[in-house]
Each structure stands twice: as C-alpha cells, then as structure tokens.
A and B are shown apart, each in its own frame.
Chain A
C-alpha cells in the first residue's frame, strides 16, 4: 500500500494562502450578529447566508487550486501564527481530505442556511439562529482544516458549543435545555479521551502537528500508539454518537430541524470519522488493534442505530437512529485502513447529502403539519407536498442503497471491503443494511402513504421555494454523487495523497455475493415494512409491542444505563462530598474554634474572685518554680 505524501510548507500566496478566510468569514458573521444584536434582526439571516456562501466559494477555489497541483504537492500547510510558543502553532492543512470536508460543510451548510431562512421565518430569534449556524460552520472548518491536534480540538469543542447552543435554541423548553446540556456533557466524556490522547502524543512524540507525526511515529506500533488510538476512538465516539456514547444524539433532535440536518446528520457527527481517518496513518494503520476496535465499534453502532430506528414514531428520532447507524458504517470503513477510507469518506459525503435531504424533507413535512413529529399522525401526505415527497423518496432510495444511487455505491463499497478484511463485521453490516431497508420504508409508508391520520387542525401544504430548492439540489446530489466518486475510484485517487491507498485499486462489482445479499435483505426489509405499515392499518397510538420493541423504543436502555451507572452514583457522591465539606472539614475548623472558646470558658472559672485563691495560686507557683529550678539544676 502507499502511505500519505509528505506535507509541504505552503509558501506561495494564492487561494490556498487565503484559505483562513474560510474560517474567518463565518466567524465574522457570527460575531457581527451577536455583538450588534437586535439591530441586525432585519438583515441578519441574509448576512449569515452570505458569509456561508462566501466561505463555500473560497473552498471551491481552494479545491481547484489544489487539484491544479501535482500529487506530491497536494498537502499544503499554511502557517498562521505561533499559538503556544514551543509547543504548537496555529496552522491550516489544505489537502484532499480536509478540502473534501470543507466543500461538504460549506456546500451543504450553505444550502441549509438558505433553507432556514424559510424554516425559521416566524421565529423572533432568527438572527441569533443564524449567528449560531455561522459559528458552527467556522468551528467545523477549523476542526477539519487545522494542521495539528490542538487546533482540531478547539474546532472540536467549538462545534460542540454550537451544537449545545442550537439544540438548546428553544431553551425555554426544559426538554431542550436538558438535551443540550446532555449533549455537551456526553461529548465532554469523549473530549477527555481526546485530551489524554494528546498528552500521550506530545509526551512520546514531542509534537502535536500532523506534519511532524508521520516522521516521528513512522509506522511503529506499540502499547503507546494503541493507547493513543483507543483514547482518540473514545473522543470519536463522543462526537459521532457511537456506542457507548450514543445516548445524546436522539435527544439532540430537540433542536430546530435544520440543525439536526446540518450538525446531527451531515457534518458534526462525522467529525469522529474525520479524526480516525486523519490519525489513521499514525494510530489506526491497517490491521492494528486500534483499527479493529474502530471497526467493531462501527459495526455495533450500525446495528444499534438501525434497531432503534425501527421503533421510533418520531420522524426525526427515526432519522437520528439511522444517522447513528450510517456513521457506524463509516466507522467500520475507517477501521479498515486505506482500503476503507475512501469508501468511508465517500459514504460520509453522500450521507451528508441524502440525510440532509431527508431531514430537511422531514422539516418541510413538520412545517406543513404545525410541527407535528409523530409519524402515526401523518399519512398520505404525498399528494399534499409533492416536491418534498419526491426529494424524500430520492433520499430514501439512496440510503437503503437502491442500485445506482449514491448510497448504493458508497455503502456497498464499505460492506465489500469489510467482508474482505473482517468477514464477521462485514456480514453484520449486511444485516444492518436489511434493517435499514425496513425502518426507512416504514418511515416512508407511515408518512406519505396510507390514509390521513392528522389532527383536526392540520392543513398540510407544500413549503416555499426557499425551502424546496435546497431539497432539490440535495436530492440531485443524492442521486449522482456516489457513482461519480466510487465507480472509477475518483475519490480514492484524490484522497490518496492525504490518507494513502491500497496498492491495487478495488474494482466495483455489481454482482458480488455480499452486494446481492444486501440487496436481497433490503428488499425483504422493505417488503416486511410494506406488509406492516403500507398495507395494514397504522394505529394512531403506538401499540405496546413485544419486549424487543420496548427495548428499541427505550434506545436499547442506553439512558437507563447511564442513569444507574453514572448519574445516581454521581449525585450520591456529590451529596456525600458536600456533607463532608460542611460537617467534616469545616466541622473540624469550627470545632477547633469552639474548643478553644470552651477551654477559655472553663478556665476563667478558676478566676474565682477570692483574694485567697489568688494567693494560693501564687504559693503553688512559687513551689513549682522552686521545684523546677532544683530539678533542672540537678539534672
């Protein structure tokens, strides 16, 4: 296999030299909107969109500038300034990997900005919403563009903050506030891993910059790198809602739908995959234990997510489950070394499109159904919102891997590679695909087919163009992107300088065993879904299903687990600590004071007021003095 090429320090000016604009522009937007506040209410959203678009333009220019360079020149490090003297500098790394992410983030990001103009039209705080969106874009770009772990970590937490703010955007809803807090805290658990990982990297290799690590590590695998790998994986699990840190993602759906689309489907949640791929050459090389761990986590999560997806009646939570599951696929791919990276990233990109597409579709549906999210109260909507319906269907077909659509190629790529490298995991992935087929179809049938189960006051209608146009664009991407990226290994070749590639490029088989198996299972799943929800009557109130269903409805008891493992003990620990502090430590302090006071109170009784007592004390004193002097004298 070929390893990544050396990073060259960028010297020339040009677009790449200006790539910091990508980050600064949206940041500026956010700053303006937040500082000027209400004054910008009228045009705030436009500014937000403009900034995001501008940054997209810079990204595109940067992309072209990059492919203008020969392969071995395609990793350009842009030094910005000295950050922590003697430890790490602020710098950007413009290479195929980061630029692909930049394109996805700014591209899809911009579309979602535009969509939000319509979606948030009636919200008094729309300006603040766009400020946060800009902030998110800036942070996410810093995450993927910076050329060292510290910069990455700053972006990492920045997106966490943006996600916190946006999940809690409607903070007056307690549920939203709680969900936001939960998301942040669970993420922090992951960050702990990432932090300690960085400690070890710095301690053992003396650098935190991607550029120098390659040389310092140069392929050596030992306990240290394994530890680092696992810790980074923990971080990745946090951000990407992988087991065991998945629990926050479903609650995160409290945020406005565009947020779910941008942050919790298309971009932020994929940061974990980015981290693994970015560090792949150092800490997750093909066949290493760390890489295996990644793959296992991926496989487990893709099943878990799928199962959860099956039981949700809340359309957004259903989609969230599927997001988990799809990221599981990416993780699986990322755990397979360079062979899998291209597919993982590919799937990441296509997923960015079709999942955003579906989320926005869902948003459009809710928009028409006065923010009803319960699919059991939908039904037969295809007539009322045709564009939404069509685009949604496209996304649906893409995700279940309908032949020749985007998802088909990327997901199939992952499955094929997995079966080839890690058969067990591979076949699990196949099973996962089947389940996907079921729950997505279920969603479709419950939402767009069957007869109306709406509330009385629901007047479904198609959304305005500002919302539908992005849908259309996204669905187009969902149709063609995958084929373009995968068929002739375009993406793999493009990424090679950044992540390396297997010496012999894979050839895409339309009729491989796993591929066909997948298709078959998907068909079965879809059919079963039709049997249950298409043909049969869908009850408006959810019937209490078998324990499996409950198991799934309760998110596989993830929350219950956290509750009993961490929260309750934690609360107890806190109470004990507080008590100990007040009664224990402070008790000793105050006790000491009280003790002295008490002694004083008792001793002063000796001062009886009788002159003769005093005389006695003098006499005794005299005796003591004499005795002491004699004693000392005769020692």
Chain B
C-alpha cells in the first residue's frame, strides 16, 4: 500500500509557489496571504498525519510511497517517515508559517524605527514562492527513503536558499550567498561520488535505503564511502573546522531565511549522519567515532568561545548554533539510546530555540537597522515585550532547565557520558568537557542580553515601538513550544525512541539502553 500523505505534503507547497509566482504585478499583499494560507494548510496536514503516526508498530517507514522515477538508474521517488523524519518534517511545517509571518515586510523595504531605509524594496512574490519551494524540498529531503532522491533534494535545496540570501540579504549578501553555495556544493559533490560508489559497489541496482542497509561489508570501502557522506554532512551541519560559511550566511540572510537555514537546512546534515552514515556504514562509523567526537567537542567549546567574542547579534547566534550542532553530533556518535534520542530531540528543540532567537534579534535589528550589539541598550525599558521574548529565547539558547533545549542537551551529555559503546572512558571525558559549555553559554547569552536589553536606554532605542500583533503571533507559538516541550518532551521522545533503537540495531551496537530502559515501553 502506498500512502499519499507525503506526496501531497510536497505537492501543496509547490502548487502554492506556482500560484504565488503567477500572481499579477502589484499583488504583493495577496501573495503574502496566499503563502501564509498554503503554509498553514501544510502545517495542518502535517499535524493530522503526525497524529496518525503509529508509534510502536512493525516496519521502519510509515506512510510509505514508492514510485519509479528513473528505472535505468534504479532511482525511485520513494518517500516515507520514521520517527525522526516525522518530527523534523513537523519542525519544518511549524517553522515555515512563522517565518512567513516574520518576513511579512522583509521584501518591501525595511525601515528602522527612525524611518531610515535599511533594505530596499525587492520582489515580494519571488521571495515567498522561493520560501514555498524550499518548504517542499525540506519536507522531501527528510521524507526521502531513496538515497538518490535524498541527494537530489539535499543539493536542490541550496538554490532557493541561495537566492533568498543573495537577493534579500544584507550588505555582504552576495559574498555570503556564494560562500554558502560553494561550500555546500563542494561537500555535496563529494557525497555524489560516494552515492554513486554505494550504488556501484552494492550492485543492487536500486537506491532504496532499506535495501542498502548492511549491504556494504568490506571495511575499506565502507570507510571511503562513509567519508564521502560525512564530509558533506559535516559541512552542512556545520562541524568545526568547516563551519565558517554559517556565520556569514546567517548574518547576511534575512531573519526568516536564517531561521530556516539554521533551523532546518543544517539539520539535514545531522539527520544524514544519523540515518545514512551510521546505518549504511556501521563499521566505518564505529571506526571513526573517536575523531568525530573530538571534532564535536571542539565545535561545542570553540563555537561558544568565539560566540562570546562576537559584536554582531546574528553572527553570535550563528556561532552558538555551531556549538549546539557540536552537541547534536556528539549525541549521534555517542551510539547510545539516550544520546541519540537526545540528539534527535535536540534537532527539533534547537529549531525552535534558535528560530525564536533569530526572529527576536531580527525584530530588534529591523527597528534599529544595525546588527551590532553596541548600538543597543536599555530596550527592556521601551519595549518590554520584545525584551521579554528575546530573553526567553536567549535562555532557551543557553538551555535553561524547564525549557525544551535543556532536555535534549541533558540527554545528549548524560547519554554520551554513560555510553558503553566503546569503553566509556573517552566518551565520558568528552561529555564532561562539553558540560563546560553550560557556563560559556550563560556568558555569551547573558552578556548579549545585558548589552542590548539592560542598562540606560540608548538614544536611538528610545524611538522603538514594542512588538505589534503580527510579531507577537510570530514569537508566542515558539515560546509556547519551547516551554511546553521543556516540561513534557514525552510525545516527541515516544516517536523518536523506536527509530533510534532501530538505528542502533542496524549499527550493531549492543547498548544496555535498549535492553534496560528501551524506548518501546
């Protein structure tokens, strides 16, 4: 049986994009409304689907649909979701409407509180249709059960994002856009070689993921192919030392695009590590665990330290994300139930937290017209709501217990610490070191908060208006989710856990977590 859920989820935004693109000139408002409507439809569909998701039943992929696409390459249009894919699709579906609302006026020329134009008027229809195309691709990349299809989306996603950064971004936008594209493209091309290699070596004549699991036996081959995939994902994630594109891209992109970039697109990297690197090349994954964990820990600490030194809000947030992605990678490669479940959960929570942070920062910047922290001060006094949301988002960023990001960070660290996969020692040390990040996180967030929100109100800040209804509608849902999942993460974890268990089985890690406190029960 093939279910139509996922194809519909992908078709709807595409159709929406076409409609928006074909709207007559000067119907900007309509374009926005249509986009919002479409994205909300997608959200509703996704939620309905998610609630039908049978959590603990047999086969790996639910809502599967497989059609032949390119028979002579053995490529199928194969989609289906396991727990992790489901939550990530849900994440995208939630973020898009929020981003639409958030970037309502981004394309029609942004004026600061004192009325100076910071970004000129640009084509509104293009921006929003790109957004919808991107949504379709984001859903596709997580839903793909065919390695080739995954790759296609993995690369094709770059283009709409490239245009969103390049033509709607800040002063350095084209540099940032090109850097982003080339970095990712390079990784992607290496991955292409690995993808072909996988096809050739496996000799199965198909790219369907389930049929490729455990096919590659020869360790040397595994290592090469693993490397091909991993480098691409490491660049995407981004992992130290191939991270430098992110701060530029995120800083130059309009806040909305930045949210999707850091919140969703980068997750494809960690998602790919978890599904492809681990399950297709288990031996290589185990062989490379230690070096990768080291890189992850470096990212965690390094990202945090560099973040402290940033003077530009968006760059700062970008670096905090680098630190957070370090945690995710650590969780993925800690090879324990708790850690990997934590990592998967982290992908979602980080989407919400960083999303909120970027958007709040975006609202600040749109009022002041400058991303430089030094240009602010005393916002709390004039715009308490904005300040409040910014603070909560920041606290989520430093993963304050009671907010969603804490649960995942805690699970990753404790899971890594207790992981018995490889003679716990080294992983414990890694977890211990990465725990230092909780201190650094407090420093970079609170210092930024102190310099922007607190203290005497700076002169230009006096003109600030507090959040309007639209902006509240943007931030409130995120904060609600952050707090809600902070106290009750179970729904997400119940969906994630079986998939993680499955993964660990495929990786042939004998993990007590499965035996004792297995996800199922």
Q: Do A and B touch (CB < 8 Å)?
A: yes
Instruction: State the A residues within 8 Å of B (CB).
Output: 34, 37, 81-87, 90, 150, 153-154, 156-158, 161, 164, 168, 171-172, 174, 176-178, 180-181, 184-185, 188-189, 191-192, 195-196, 198-200, 202-203, 206, 570, 573-575, 577-578, 581, 585-586, 589, 593
A195 touches B435 (CB 8 A): yes
A578 — which chain B residues lie within 8 A by C-beta?
Answer: 306, 309-310
Q: CA A154 – CA B405 in complex, angstroms?
A: 12
B490 touches A85 (CB 8 A): yes
User: Nearest Cβ in chain B — how far from A102, in angstroms?
Assistant: 19
User: Nearest Cβ in chain A — how far from B495, in angstroms?
Assistant: 11
Instruction: Count B interface residues, CB 8 Å.
Output: 64
A172 touches B381 (CB 8 A): yes
Contact of B400 among A85, A161, A577, A585 (CB under 8 A): A161
Task: For the A-B complex with A199-B435, A203-B424 known, give 11 more contacts whose Cβ atoms are closer than 8 Å.
Answer: A85-B490, A85-B521, A86-B337, A150-B410, A154-B401, A172-B454, A199-B417, A199-B432, A202-B417, A573-B305, A574-B305
Q: CA A604 – CA B487 in complex, angstroms?
A: 63
Q: A84-B407, A157-B401 are in contact. Are A581 and B454 (CB under 8 A)?
A: no
A192 touches B439 (CB 8 A): yes
The residue in chain A whose Cβ has the minimal distance to the Cβ of B301 is A577
Q: CA A586 – CA B387 in complex, angstroms?
A: 33
A200 — which chain B residues lie within 8 A by C-beta?
Answer: 417
A574 touches B450 (CB 8 A): no
Q: CA A574 – CA B410 in complex, angstroms?
A: 26
The residue in chain A whose Cβ has the minimal distance to the Cβ of B486 is A154
A164 — which chain B residues lie within 8 A by C-beta?
Answer: 446
Q: CA A593 – CA B521 in complex, angstroms?
A: 53
Instruction: State the B residues within 8 Å of A (CB).
Output: 179, 182-183, 241, 243-244, 302, 305-306, 308-310, 337-338, 378, 380-381, 384-385, 388, 395, 400-402, 406-407, 410-411, 413-414, 417-418, 424, 428, 431-432, 435-436, 438-439, 442-443, 446-447, 449-450, 453-457, 487-490, 493-494, 497, 513, 516-519, 521
A85 touches B380 (CB 8 A): no
Contact of B401 among A158, A177, A178 (CB under 8 A): A158
A188 touches B442 (CB 8 A): yes
User: Nearest Cβ in chain A — how far from B176, in angstroms?
Assistant: 12
Contact of A171 among B411, B414, B455, B487 (CB under 8 A): B455
Q: CA A180 – CA B395 in complex, angstroms?
A: 14
Q: A153-B401, A192-B438 are in contact. Are A577 and B454 (CB under 8 A)?
A: no
B449 — which chain A residues lie within 8 A by C-beta?
Answer: 181
The residue in chain A whose Cβ has the minimal distance to the Cβ of B407 is A84
B438 touches A188 (CB 8 A): yes
Contact of A174 among B302, B439, B454 (CB under 8 A): B454
B487 — which chain A residues lie within 8 A by C-beta?
Answer: 83, 90
CB-based closest 8 A-B pairs: A86-B517, A177-B454, A578-B309, A203-B418, A199-B417, A574-B309, A171-B454, A154-B401
Sampled A-B contacts (30; CB under 8 Å): A82-B490, A84-B489, A84-B493, A85-B493, A85-B497, A85-B521, A86-B517, A86-B521, A87-B411, A87-B414, A90-B487, A158-B402, A171-B455, A172-B380, A172-B381, A174-B454, A177-B454, A177-B455, A181-B450, A184-B446, A188-B439, A188-B442, A199-B418, A199-B435, A574-B309, A577-B309, A578-B310, A585-B244, A586-B244, A589-B179
Q: Identify whether the interface residues of A are mostly helix, strand, loop, or mixed.
A: helix
A86 touches B518 (CB 8 A): yes
B438 touches A191 (CB 8 A): yes
B306 — which chain A residues lie within 8 A by C-beta?
Answer: 574, 577-578, 581
Q: CA A462 – CA B358 in complex, angstroms?
A: 50
B513 — which chain A residues lie within 8 A by C-beta?
Answer: 86
Contact of A86 among B385, B406, B519 (CB under 8 A): B519
Q: A86-B337, A161-B395, A174-B455 are in contact. Are A189 and B432 (CB under 8 A)?
A: no
Q: CA A376 – CA B310 in complex, angstroms?
A: 44
User: Nearest Cβ in chain B — how far from A152, in angstroms?
Assistant: 10
Contact of B244 among A34, A153, A195, A589 (CB under 8 A): A589
B457 touches A172 (CB 8 A): yes
User: Nearest Cβ in chain A — how far from B95, in angstroms?
Assistant: 23
Q: CA A178 – CA B183 in complex, angstroms?
A: 40
B455 — which chain A residues lie within 8 A by C-beta?
Answer: 171-172, 174, 177
Q: CA A189 – CA B447 in complex, angstroms?
A: 16
Q: CA A483 – CA B428 in complex, angstroms?
A: 49
User: Nearest Cβ in chain B — how far from A338, in angstroms?
Assistant: 30
A90 — which chain B residues lie within 8 A by C-beta?
Answer: 487
A85 — which chain B residues lie within 8 A by C-beta?
Answer: 490, 493-494, 497, 517, 519, 521
* Total CB contacts across the A-B interface at under 8 A: 144
B438 — which chain A residues lie within 8 A by C-beta?
Answer: 188, 191-192, 195
The residue in chain B whose Cβ has the minimal distance to the Cβ of A125 is B384
A202 touches B414 (CB 8 A): yes
User: Nearest Cβ in chain B — how far from A199, in angstroms?
Assistant: 4
Q: CA A195 – CA B413 in complex, angstroms?
A: 9
Q: A192-B436, A202-B414 are in contact. Are A172 and B378 (CB under 8 A)?
A: yes
B442 touches A185 (CB 8 A): yes
B450 touches A177 (CB 8 A): yes
User: Nearest Cβ in chain B — how far from A292, in angstroms?
Assistant: 24
B417 — which chain A residues lie within 8 A by C-beta?
Answer: 196, 199-200, 202-203
Of B308, B337, B516, the most chain A CB neighbours within 10 A belong to: B308
A575 — which chain B residues lie within 8 A by C-beta?
Answer: 309
B309 — which chain A residues lie within 8 A by C-beta?
Answer: 574-575, 577-578
User: Nearest Cβ in chain B — how far from A275, in angstroms?
Assistant: 15
B385 — which chain A residues lie within 8 A by C-beta?
Answer: 37
B244 — which chain A residues lie within 8 A by C-beta?
Answer: 581, 585-586, 589
B497 touches A154 (CB 8 A): no
Q: CA A206 – CA B420 in complex, angstroms?
A: 13
User: Nearest Cβ in chain B — how far from A553, in angstroms?
Assistant: 26
User: Nearest Cβ in chain A — how far from B129, in angstroms?
Assistant: 31
B402 touches A206 (CB 8 A): no
The residue in chain B whose Cβ has the minimal distance to the Cβ of A579 is B309
Q: CA A575 – CA B306 in complex, angstroms?
A: 8
B489 touches A83 (CB 8 A): yes
Q: CA A135 – CA B380 in complex, angstroms?
A: 19
The residue in chain B whose Cβ has the minimal distance to the Cβ of A207 is B517
A171 touches B380 (CB 8 A): yes
Q: CA A200 – CA B488 in complex, angstroms?
A: 24
A171 — which chain B residues lie within 8 A by C-beta?
Answer: 380, 453-455
Q: CA A146 – CA B183 in complex, angstroms?
A: 48
Q: CA A586 – CA B305 in complex, angstroms?
A: 16
User: Nearest Cβ in chain B — how far from A406, in angstroms?
Assistant: 34
User: Nearest Cβ in chain A — how far from B291, in angstroms?
Assistant: 18
A573 — which chain B residues lie within 8 A by C-beta?
Answer: 305
B380 touches A174 (CB 8 A): no
Of A37, A87, A200, A593, the most chain B CB neighbours within 10 A belong to: A87
Q: CA A178 – CA B446 in complex, angstroms?
A: 10
Q: CA A60 – CA B517 in complex, angstroms?
A: 38
B490 touches A83 (CB 8 A): yes
Q: CA A547 – CA B380 in complex, angstroms?
A: 42
A577 touches B302 (CB 8 A): yes
The residue in chain A whose Cβ has the minimal distance to the Cβ of B439 is A188
Q: CA A156 – CA B410 in complex, angstroms?
A: 15
User: Nearest Cβ in chain A — how far from B377, in angstroms?
Assistant: 9
A577 — which chain B residues lie within 8 A by C-beta?
Answer: 302, 305-306, 309
The residue in chain B whose Cβ has the minimal distance to the Cβ of A142 is B402
Q: CA A192 – CA B399 in complex, angstroms?
A: 13
User: Nearest Cβ in chain A — how far from B454, in angstroms?
Assistant: 4
A589 — which chain B residues lie within 8 A by C-beta?
Answer: 179, 183, 244
Q: CA A184 – CA B447 in complex, angstroms?
A: 11
A157 touches B338 (CB 8 A): no
User: Nearest Cβ in chain B — how far from A127, in angstroms?
Assistant: 11
A185 touches B407 (CB 8 A): no
B447 touches A156 (CB 8 A): no
User: Nearest Cβ in chain B — how far from A201, in angstroms?
Assistant: 9
Q: CA A177 – CA B418 in complex, angstroms?
A: 38
Q: CA A166 – CA B449 in complex, angstroms?
A: 15
B490 touches A81 (CB 8 A): yes
Contact of A154 among B402, B418, B446 (CB under 8 A): B402
